[in-house]
Amino acid sequence: MKAHNRIAQLRQAQAQADSIRRELGINAPRAVLYLAPLYATDDDVLLVEADGFGEATTSVIEGNYPIDYVTKREKRFLTEEEAVAAAADIIEHPLAARTLLAEPI
């Protein structure tokens, strides 16, 4: 099959996936749902990123997201809403990152 036919198939599959995601109310893979500085005094950032299947990961990162960064802590949540709620809790209580997220990576 020629490349342009395969690309057309890929576009159709992507359109179907996007339609299903809209119907289910979930975000595309790698969609940033939350991004905020963790502390006013250092370079740590709190990030929530969707996986495209309804789950999301909340991470504490350091660096220049998305180009050059290091993940310090992270936890995967079963829903995007849970991940964003955890991020909001961490912003209110930054020390909670140690208990709400997994051990350092």
The token duo for 38 is 């963790």
Q: What is the pLDDT of residues 26-83, one digit of tens each?
A: 999 999 999 999 887 788 999 999 999 999 999 999 988 899 999 999 999 999 999 9
Is the preceding peptide bond at 66 cis, omega within 30 degrees of 0? yes
Stated as kind and residue range, the H or E segment containing 85 is helix 80-92
> Structure pTM?
0.86
Of the pLDDT bands very low, low, confident and very high (cuts 50, 70, 90), residue 96 is confident
